Amino acid sequence: MPLYECVFIARNDVSQQQVDLIADGLTTIITDMGGEVKKREYWGLRGLAYKVKKNRKGHYMLLGIDAPAPAIHEMERQLGLNEDVLREMTTRIEELNPEEPSAILAKRGDDRDRERGFRGPKPAGRFGSGRGRERGDEREEFRARPRDDMDMMGGMDDDR
Protein backbone atom coordinates (compact mmCIF):
# COMPACT_ATOMS: atom_id res chain seq x y z
CA MET A 1 0.00 0.00 0.00
CA PRO A 2 1.18 3.59 -0.55
CA LEU A 3 2.57 5.68 2.29
CA TYR A 4 1.26 9.12 3.19
CA GLU A 5 1.98 11.90 5.64
CA CYS A 6 -0.91 14.02 6.81
CA VAL A 7 -0.42 17.24 8.76
CA PHE A 8 -3.44 19.06 10.08
CA ILE A 9 -3.77 22.26 12.07
CA ALA A 10 -6.51 22.55 14.68
CA ARG A 11 -7.84 25.80 16.12
CA ASN A 12 -6.05 27.57 18.94
CA ASP A 13 -8.97 27.40 21.40
CA VAL A 14 -9.30 23.60 21.41
CA SER A 15 -7.29 21.58 23.91
CA GLN A 16 -4.58 19.04 23.18
CA GLN A 17 -6.98 16.27 24.24
CA GLN A 18 -9.47 17.40 21.59
CA VAL A 19 -6.71 17.34 18.97
CA ASP A 20 -5.90 13.79 20.08
CA LEU A 21 -9.59 12.89 19.69
CA ILE A 22 -9.53 14.21 16.11
CA ALA A 23 -6.46 12.08 15.43
CA ASP A 24 -8.14 9.06 17.05
CA GLY A 25 -11.15 9.52 14.77
CA LEU A 26 -8.89 9.61 11.73
CA THR A 27 -7.09 6.49 12.96
CA THR A 28 -10.37 4.57 13.22
CA ILE A 29 -11.34 5.68 9.69
CA ILE A 30 -7.99 4.48 8.32
CA THR A 31 -8.03 1.14 10.16
CA ASP A 32 -11.68 0.42 9.22
CA MET A 33 -10.81 0.84 5.55
CA GLY A 34 -7.79 -1.51 5.69
CA GLY A 35 -4.96 0.91 6.48
CA GLU A 36 -2.69 1.60 9.41
CA VAL A 37 -1.37 4.71 11.17
CA LYS A 38 2.33 4.03 11.73
CA LYS A 39 3.45 7.39 13.08
CA ARG A 40 1.74 10.03 15.19
CA GLU A 41 3.39 13.22 16.41
CA TYR A 42 1.93 16.20 18.18
CA TRP A 43 4.02 19.26 17.30
CA GLY A 44 2.37 21.58 19.77
CA LEU A 45 0.75 24.99 19.61
CA ARG A 46 2.65 26.98 17.01
CA GLY A 47 2.25 30.38 15.41
CA LEU A 48 0.79 30.56 11.92
CA ALA A 49 2.45 32.56 9.15
CA TYR A 50 -0.78 34.49 8.60
CA LYS A 51 -4.27 34.55 10.06
CA VAL A 52 -6.40 31.55 9.13
CA LYS A 53 -10.10 31.89 9.99
CA LYS A 54 -9.24 34.60 12.57
CA ASN A 55 -6.63 32.37 14.29
CA ARG A 56 -2.99 33.34 14.79
CA LYS A 57 -1.93 30.00 16.34
CA GLY A 58 -2.84 26.38 15.84
CA HIS A 59 -2.24 22.86 17.16
CA TYR A 60 -0.15 20.88 14.67
CA MET A 61 -0.43 17.08 14.33
CA LEU A 62 1.44 14.74 11.97
CA LEU A 63 0.18 11.30 10.99
CA GLY A 64 2.26 8.73 9.08
CA ILE A 65 -0.20 6.52 7.24
CA ASP A 66 0.00 3.27 5.26
CA ALA A 67 -3.40 2.98 3.60
CA PRO A 68 -5.20 2.60 0.26
CA ALA A 69 -6.31 5.72 -1.61
CA PRO A 70 -10.05 5.47 -0.74
CA ALA A 71 -9.18 5.57 2.97
CA ILE A 72 -7.11 8.72 2.41
CA HIS A 73 -9.95 10.36 0.49
CA GLU A 74 -12.39 9.61 3.31
CA MET A 75 -9.92 10.93 5.90
CA GLU A 76 -9.48 14.18 3.94
CA ARG A 77 -13.26 14.50 3.61
CA GLN A 78 -13.73 14.12 7.37
CA LEU A 79 -10.98 16.67 8.06
CA GLY A 80 -12.69 19.14 5.71
CA LEU A 81 -16.00 18.72 7.55
CA ASN A 82 -14.50 19.19 11.02
CA GLU A 83 -14.92 22.80 12.20
CA ASP A 84 -11.94 22.57 14.54
CA VAL A 85 -9.50 21.84 11.70
CA LEU A 86 -8.11 24.97 10.03
CA ARG A 87 -5.92 23.35 7.36
CA GLU A 88 -4.80 19.89 6.32
CA MET A 89 -2.27 18.60 3.84
CA THR A 90 -1.68 15.01 2.80
CA THR A 91 1.30 14.04 0.69
CA ARG A 92 2.44 10.71 -0.68
CA ILE A 93 5.94 9.70 0.41
CA GLU A 94 8.39 6.99 -0.60
CA GLU A 95 9.33 5.70 2.85
CA LEU A 96 8.19 6.17 6.42
CA ASN A 97 10.41 5.70 9.47
CA PRO A 98 8.18 5.58 12.56
CA GLU A 99 11.08 5.47 15.03
CA GLU A 100 12.80 8.59 13.75
CA PRO A 101 11.34 11.98 14.80
CA SER A 102 10.23 14.38 12.10
CA ALA A 103 12.31 17.40 11.13
CA ILE A 104 10.17 19.69 13.29
CA LEU A 105 10.70 17.68 16.47
CA ALA A 106 14.37 17.08 15.69
CA LYS A 107 14.92 20.84 15.31
CA ARG A 108 13.09 21.52 18.58
CA GLY A 109 15.40 19.07 20.39
CA ASP A 110 18.48 20.80 18.95
CA ASP A 111 17.28 24.19 20.20
CA ARG A 112 16.79 22.91 23.73
CA ASP A 113 20.19 21.22 23.86
CA ARG A 114 22.07 24.33 22.82
CA GLU A 115 23.83 26.19 25.60
CA ARG A 116 22.52 29.68 26.29
CA GLY A 117 25.63 31.07 28.00
CA PHE A 118 28.22 32.91 25.94
CA ARG A 119 26.83 34.55 22.80
CA GLY A 120 30.03 36.00 21.36
CA PRO A 121 31.64 39.42 21.53
CA LYS A 122 29.42 42.46 21.85
CA PRO A 123 28.94 44.52 18.72
CA ALA A 124 30.06 48.13 18.62
CA GLY A 125 27.81 50.47 20.52
CA ARG A 126 25.41 52.79 18.83
CA PHE A 127 27.52 55.82 19.73
CA GLY A 128 30.60 54.44 18.02
CA SER A 129 29.27 54.95 14.53
CA GLY A 130 28.53 58.65 14.29
CA ARG A 131 28.27 60.22 10.88
CA GLY A 132 30.90 62.89 11.39
CA ARG A 133 33.54 60.59 12.85
CA GLU A 134 33.45 58.23 9.91
CA ARG A 135 34.35 61.05 7.51
CA GLY A 136 36.90 62.56 9.85
CA ASP A 137 35.27 66.02 10.00
CA GLU A 138 37.72 67.39 7.51
CA ARG A 139 35.20 69.61 5.82
CA GLU A 140 35.37 73.29 6.64
CA GLU A 141 31.77 73.74 7.72
CA PHE A 142 32.19 71.22 10.51
CA ARG A 143 35.42 72.64 11.91
CA ALA A 144 35.14 74.93 14.89
CA ARG A 145 36.24 78.47 14.13
CA PRO A 146 38.49 80.32 16.51
CA ARG A 147 36.62 82.86 18.54
CA ASP A 148 37.77 86.44 18.25
CA ASP A 149 36.62 88.97 20.83
CA MET A 150 36.87 91.75 18.31
CA ASP A 151 34.46 90.03 15.97
CA MET A 152 31.95 89.84 18.78
CA MET A 153 32.09 93.60 19.36
CA GLY A 154 31.47 94.32 15.74
CA GLY A 155 34.75 96.06 15.06
CA MET A 156 34.54 98.69 17.82
CA ASP A 157 38.28 99.34 17.76
CA ASP A 158 37.68 102.39 15.50
CA ASP A 159 37.67 105.82 17.07
CA ARG A 160 34.55 107.62 16.20
Per-residue model confidence as pLDDT tens digits over 105-120: 888 766 655 555 566 6
Quick one: which of 65, 77, 54, 48 has its CA closest to 4? 65
Range of the domain at 33: 3-95
Asked, for residue 54, whether it belongs to a domain, the answer is yes
Domains in the chain: how many in total? 1
Asked, for residue 129, whether it belongs to a domain, the answer is no
Asked, for residue 22, whether it belongs to a domain, the answer is yes
Asked, for residue 144, whether it belongs to a domain, the answer is no
What's the CATH code of the domain at 20?
Answer: 3.30.70.60
Per-residue model confidence as pLDDT tens digits over 28-60: 999 999 999 999 999 999 999 999 999 999 999
Asked, for residue 109, whether it belongs to a domain, the answer is no
* SS percent in the chain: helix, strand, coil, step 5: 35, 30, 35
Mean per-residue pLDDT over the chain, rounded: 81
